[in-house]
């Protein structure tokens, strides 16, 4: 206790003593002198509303405990001063001389330093209640594991004394307590009921349930160290406590418990309105998503519109050059085996129409053209206005008469557009046609194709001929033929329309048949009999020759196998296209597999490789030739004399036999000179020690000449023409030559 002593003058001191002595009960620790109410410093915790807490407005300590103590202290003649304790526990606060008394205590527990304490009479019975997560039936308290606040260590000690079996865990904060309860760390939480009344107002603790059955009471006392001074204070305080009526106590308790003291903090608001917040957030998120999507789709639409504007011609609604390019690429990719042509169309003297009849009339004509063309186009075709009066059309090649039909259905009405309106102006159209080749489908270059069509169109325009001379018939025919050959090949191979014919080869000196060359023929469903000249180059261009050759080679091997089996051993020369000899086709391996399959000797196959192939692709060819020969095949250089580097090649290429092409050597120029050339060539080949055969021998004179010069092996119409296999089978190797 801090007693204020006034040391005044002696006169005043005496007066004071007289005054003090006039009272019957003077507190033992009161100092004689002029009476002043003694201040009583009460140490209290402030973390347990509504017992002890700080008023949020004034910052003063308030609460049930404060009011009760104030009333009791005042009754005892003290002026109470409430001071929040800075120590962790009440026990520690007991050791602190700053406080006269500390509260609340249930009983006189020793201080933290072990000094004995003394407590006042009971200020009130404090109900203590257990709280659980959800309602549940609890065993008696002495079988429970309960959680309490660490600041309630004193109470915990009292509880342990009263309920020996109870297990108590202390936690620093109420959220820690609740977390322990929710996680099953403790069975229940124990706390002052009045404080529960406050704590459970927190929205997020809505799942915590007070267990009324488990209620018990604790005393609520003030305590201090058990010293003479302490005893005096407690004694005097007890007088004040005794003076408190039950009414006063109840009024104070009711005052605090009936008030809504709990103040929401931010987290409480968050919890309380979580659903609304969540809904709000979802709505906001949705609004954002919808807005973003809308902006995106608008952007896309905008881009599409711009794209469409770029791809479309605003006047006629047809494709623009840009759109046409895209559409043609699409169509050619989707229909790679379909015959198409591309036309470039132009109105002759359109400027004159515009100038004389007006722009509107010109525009009307362009629109009419668009209309008429669209009427005649299918889904797989495309039309564009690529420039003022220039139209580009991608059209399927269907019937032979297609151009005439287009003329009738589209061009004639356009031509008569003004005449039908009574205006004496005939519209003239120039049209250039480009028929697509297989290469155009592989490397699609719309601009290039259009350029070619434009060249044709310009030719028509420059010729100033009639408007209907609008396509290049040669190119048209060629295109159609290409389409017919390429598209029909797979079917022709499988259905047997491709046949292998044989042309016998002879030794003229011995007068015997020595072998044959296999030559293919095509009995085309639509085009009739076709000779290699009609389709080999086209198939080479389309990259399909290997398919045909594989078929021919296999057919020859089958025939050889059959002849071997019937005791008619023969050897046959087969042709190899320059296109078959590439890095990725291993023809040596291919032939080797064939003779294995059909059980043939390799020298039964003579592989003819044309001389020009050696010139174009010498490295790969020399390599292939060496591999073939190493396997036992005989390799022949075909068409010798038709190429450019014949003499040089003879030195470089390791072939077994040279096939002199008499046709190339003798068909033109001075006959005498031709003979000299042939004679020299034969002589040279002989001097090089190589074998040779002359092909294209048509007359007895040619045969005699060759024989005379030392070339004995021959092949030609003079002896035999290529014949179907059935006919060839009648002839045997070694048979005498039958010259008709």
Using CB under 6 A, list all residues that contact ligand C2E.
503, 519-520, 531-533, 536, 545, 549, 552, 575, 577, 608, 638-639, 663, 695-698, 716-717, 722
Q: Which does 430 bind (CB under 5 to 8 A by kind): ligand C2E, Mg ion, none?
A: none
- Smallest distance, ligand C2E to C-beta of residue 739, A: 13
Q: Select the residue interacting with Mg ion from 472, 575, 666, 702 (CB under 5 A).
A: 575
Specify the residue, 208 or 653, whose C-beta has the smaller distance to ligand C2E.
653
Residues 548/520, Cβ–Cβ less than 8 Å: yes
Alpha-carbon distance of 373 to 384, in angstroms, equals: 10
Q: Which does 7 bind (CB under 5 to 8 A by kind): Mg ion, ligand C2E, none?
A: none
Residues 517/694, Cβ–Cβ less than 8 Å: no
Q: Which does 722 bind (CB under 5 to 8 A by kind): Mg ion, ligand C2E, none?
A: ligand C2E
Q: What is the DSSP letter of 253?
A: H
Strand 78-84 vs strand 38-44: parallel, antiparallel, or unpaired? parallel
Specify the residue, 67 or 639, whose C-beta has the smaller distance to Mg ion.
639
DSSP codes joined into one string, 173-196: SHHHHHHHHHTTSSSEEEEEHHHH
Cα dist from 274 to 174, 271, 685, whole Å: 22, 5, 103
Query: Which residue bears the tokens 């009791």?
Result: 72
- Smallest distance, Mg ion to C-beta of residue 715, A: 9
CB atoms within 10 A of CB 354: 17
Q: Which does 187 bind (CB under 5 to 8 A by kind): Mg ion, ligand C2E, none?
A: none
Q: How far apart are the first and last CA of the chain?
A: 156
Specify the residue, 232 or 550, whose C-beta has the smaller distance to ligand C2E.
550
Cα dist from 365 to 220, 287, 315, 358, 414, whole Å: 109, 51, 11, 11, 7
Q: Which stretch binds Mg ion (CB under 5 A): 52-60, 453-461, 571-579, 704-712?
A: 571-579
Residue ranges in 384-423 that form contacts with Mg ion under rule CB under 5 A: none
Tell me the Ramachandran region of residue 567: left when phi exceeds 0, alpha when psi lies from -120 to 50, beta otherwise: left
Q: Which does 151 bind (CB under 5 to 8 A by kind): Mg ion, ligand C2E, none?
A: none
Q: What is the DSSP letter of 731?
A: S
715 scored as a contact of Mg ion (CB under 5 A):
no
Specify the residue, 457 or 639, whose C-beta has the smaller distance to Mg ion.
639
Specify the residue, 441 or 664, whose C-beta has the smaller distance to ligand C2E.
664
Q: Which does 579 bind (CB under 5 to 8 A by kind): ligand C2E, Mg ion, none?
A: none
- Smallest distance, ligand C2E to C-beta of residue 431, A: 36
Specify the residue, 403 or 506, whose C-beta has the smaller distance to Mg ion.
506
- Smallest distance, Mg ion to C-beta of residue 403, A: 38
- Smallest distance, Mg ion to C-beta of residue 459, A: 37
Specify the residue, 457 or 638, whose C-beta has the smaller distance to ligand C2E.
638
Looking at beta carbons, which residue is closest to ligand C2E?
A: 532
Enumerate long-range contacts of 551-556, CB under 8 Å, 24 or more apart: 551/493, 551/498, 552/498, 552/500, 552/518, 552/520, 553/590, 553/591, 553/594, 554/594, 555/500, 555/518, 556/500, 556/518, 556/605
Two structure tokens written together for 704: 């005699």
Alpha-carbon distance of 397 to 339, in angstroms, equals: 5
Residues 6 or more apart whose Cβ sits within 8 Å of residue 502: 516, 517, 518, 519, 572, 722, 723, 725, 728
Specify the residue, 418 or 640, whose C-beta has the smaller distance to Mg ion.
640
Residue among 641, 648, 636 at smallest CA distance from 692 = 636
Specify the residue, 446 or 498, whose C-beta has the smaller distance to ligand C2E.
498
Alpha-carbon distance of 235 to 204, in angstroms, equals: 45
Specify the residue, 534 or 735, whose C-beta has the smaller distance to ligand C2E.
534
**Residues 621-640 as x/- pattern, contact with Mg ion by CB under 5 A:** -----------------xx-
- Smallest distance, ligand C2E to C-beta of residue 631, A: 20
Residue among 90, 88, 82 at smallest CA distance from 107 = 90
Q: Which does 536 bind (CB under 5 to 8 A by kind): ligand C2E, Mg ion, none?
A: ligand C2E
Q: What is the DSSP letter of 416?
A: T
Q: Which does 323 bind (CB under 5 to 8 A by kind): Mg ion, ligand C2E, none?
A: none
- Smallest distance, Mg ion to C-beta of residue 639, A: 4
- Smallest distance, ligand C2E to C-beta of residue 600, A: 18
Q: Which does 197 bind (CB under 5 to 8 A by kind): Mg ion, ligand C2E, none?
A: none
- Smallest distance, Mg ion to C-beta of residue 511, A: 23
Residue ranges in 230-289 that form contacts with Mg ion under rule CB under 5 A: none
Alpha-carbon distance of 100 to 210, in angstroms, equals: 35
Specify the residue, 33 or 696, whose C-beta has the smaller distance to ligand C2E.
696
Two structure tokens written together for 255: 């005052």
- Smallest distance, ligand C2E to C-beta of residue 520, A: 4
- Smallest distance, ligand C2E to C-beta of residue 504, A: 10
Specify the residue, 406 or 608, whose C-beta has the smaller distance to Mg ion.
608
Q: Which does 533 bind (CB under 5 to 8 A by kind): ligand C2E, Mg ion, none?
A: ligand C2E
Residue ranges in 637-666 that form contacts with Mg ion under rule CB under 5 A: 638-639
Q: Which does 407 bind (CB under 5 to 8 A by kind): Mg ion, ligand C2E, none?
A: none
- Smallest distance, ligand C2E to C-beta of residue 719, A: 8
| CA-based torsion, 521, 525, 527, 529: positive or negative | positive
Q: Which does 549 bind (CB under 5 to 8 A by kind): Mg ion, ligand C2E, none?
A: ligand C2E
Residue ranges in 600-619 that form contacts with Mg ion under rule CB under 5 A: 608
- Smallest distance, ligand C2E to C-beta of residue 686, A: 22
- Smallest distance, ligand C2E to C-beta of residue 685, A: 17
Two structure tokens written together for 340: 């198409």
Give the burial class of 480: count Cβ atoms within 10 A of its Cβ; 0-12 exposed, 13-18 middle, 19 or more buried: middle
Specify the residue, 66 or 613, whose C-beta has the smaller distance to Mg ion.
613
- Smallest distance, ligand C2E to C-beta of residue 558, A: 14
Residue among 402, 399, 374, 381 at smallest CA distance from 334 = 381
- Smallest distance, ligand C2E to C-beta of residue 488, A: 16
Q: Which does 552 bind (CB under 5 to 8 A by kind): ligand C2E, Mg ion, none?
A: ligand C2E
Alpha-carbon distance of 323 to 317, in angstroms, equals: 11
Specify the residue, 7 or 533, whose C-beta has the smaller distance to Mg ion.
533
**What is the C-alpha R_g of the chain?**
59
Q: Which does 623 bind (CB under 5 to 8 A by kind): Mg ion, ligand C2E, none?
A: none
Alpha-carbon distance of 73 to 243, in angstroms, equals: 10
Enumerate long-range contacts of 446-455, CB under 8 Å, 24 or more apart: 446/324, 446/325, 446/328, 446/329, 447/325, 449/328, 449/342, 450/342, 450/344, 450/386, 450/392, 452/342, 453/342, 453/343, 453/344, 453/392, 454/344
Q: Which residues bind Mg ion (CB under 5 A)?
A: 575, 608, 638-639
């Amino acid at each position: 206790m801090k007693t204020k002593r006034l040391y005044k003058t002696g006169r005043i001191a005496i007066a004071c003593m007289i005054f003090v002595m006039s009272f019957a009960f003077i507190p033992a620790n009161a100092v004689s002198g002029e009476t002043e109410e003694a201040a009583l410093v009460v140490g209290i915790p402030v973390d347990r509303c509504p017992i002890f807490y700080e008023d949020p407005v004034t910052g003063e300590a308030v609460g049930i405990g404060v009011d009760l103590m104030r009333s009791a202290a005042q009754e005892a003649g003290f002026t109470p001063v409430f001071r929040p304790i800075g120590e962790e526990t009440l026990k520690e606060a007991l050791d602190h001389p700053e406080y006269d008394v500390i509260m609340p205590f249930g009983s006189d527990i020793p201080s933290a330093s072990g000094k004995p304490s003394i407590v006042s009479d009971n200020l009130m019975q404090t109900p203590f209640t257990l709280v659980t997560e959800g309602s549940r039936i609890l065993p008696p308290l002495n079988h429970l594991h309960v959680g309490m606040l660490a600041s309630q260590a004193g109470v915990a000690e009292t509880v342990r004394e009263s309920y020996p079996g109870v297990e108590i865990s202390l936690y620093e904060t109420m959220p820690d307590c609740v977390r322990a309860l929710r996680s099953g760390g403790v069975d229940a939480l124990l706390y002052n009921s009045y404080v529960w009344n406050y704590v459970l107002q927190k929205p997020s603790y809505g799942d915590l349930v007070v267990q009324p059955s488990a209620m018990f009471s604790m005393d609520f006392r003030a305590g201090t160290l058990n010293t003479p001074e302490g005893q005096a204070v407690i004694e005097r305080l007890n007088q004040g406590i005794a003076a408190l009526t039950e009414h006063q106590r109840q009024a104070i308790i009711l005052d605090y418990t009936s008030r809504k003291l709990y103040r929401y903090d931010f987290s409480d608001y968050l919890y309380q309105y979580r659903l609304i917040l969540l809904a709000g957030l979802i709505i906001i998120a949705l609004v954002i998503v919808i807005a973003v999507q809308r902006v995106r789709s608008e952007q896309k639409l905008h881009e599409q519109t711009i794209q469409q504007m770029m791809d479309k011609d605003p006047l006629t609604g047809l494709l623009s050059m840009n759109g046409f390019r895209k559409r043609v690429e699409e169509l050619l990719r989707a229909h790679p085996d379909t015959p198409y042509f591309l036309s470039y169309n132009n109105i002759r003297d359109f400027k004159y129409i515009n100038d004389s009849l007006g722009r509107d009339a010109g525009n009307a004509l362009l629109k009419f053209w668009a209309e008429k063309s669209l009427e005649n186009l299918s889904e797989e075709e495309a039309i564009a206005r690529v420039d003022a009066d220039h139209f580009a059309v991608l059209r399927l090649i269907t019937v032979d008469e297609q151009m005439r039909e287009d003329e009738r259905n589209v061009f004639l009405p356009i031509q008569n557009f003004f005449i039908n309106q009574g205006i004496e102006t005939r519209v003239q159209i120039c049209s250039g046609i480009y028929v697509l080749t297989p290469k155009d489908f592989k490397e699609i270059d719309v601009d290039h194709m259009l350029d070619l069509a434009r060249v044709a169109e310009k030719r028509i325009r420059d010729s100033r001929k009639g408007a209907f001379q609008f396509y290049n018939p040669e190119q048209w025919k060629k295109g159609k033929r290409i389409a017919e050959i390429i598209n029909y090949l797979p079917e022709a191979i499988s259905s047997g329309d491709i046949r292998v014919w044989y042309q016998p080869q002879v030794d003229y000196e011995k007068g015997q048949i020595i072998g044959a060359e296999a030559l293919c023929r095509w009995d085309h469903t639509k085009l009739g009999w076709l000779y290699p000249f009609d389709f080999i180059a086209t198939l080479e261009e389309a990259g399909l020759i290997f398919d045909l050759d594989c078929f021919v080679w296999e057919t020859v091997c089958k025939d050889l196998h059959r002849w071997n089996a019937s005791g008619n051993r023969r050897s046959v020369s087969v042709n190899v296209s320059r296109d078959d000899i590439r890095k990725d086709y291993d023809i040596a391996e291919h032939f080797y597999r064939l003779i294995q399959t059909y059980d043939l000797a390799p020298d039964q196959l003579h592989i003819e490789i044309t001389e020009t192939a050696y010139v174009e692709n010498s490295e790969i060819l020399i390599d292939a030739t060496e591999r073939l020969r190493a396997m036992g095949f005989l390799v022949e250089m075909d068409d010798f004399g038709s190429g450019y580097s014949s003499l040089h090649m003879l030195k470089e290429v390791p072939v077994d036999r040279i096939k002199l092409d008499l046709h190339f050597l003798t068909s033109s120029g001075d006959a005498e000179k031709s003979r000299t050339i042939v004679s020299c060539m034969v002589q040279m080949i002989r001097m090089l020690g190589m074998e040779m055969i002359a092909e294209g021998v048509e007359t007895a004179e040619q045969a005699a000449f060759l024989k005379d010069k030392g070339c004995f092996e021959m092949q030609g119409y003079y002896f035999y023409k290529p014949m179907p296999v059935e006919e060839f089978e009648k002839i045997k190797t070694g048979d005498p030559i039958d010259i008709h």
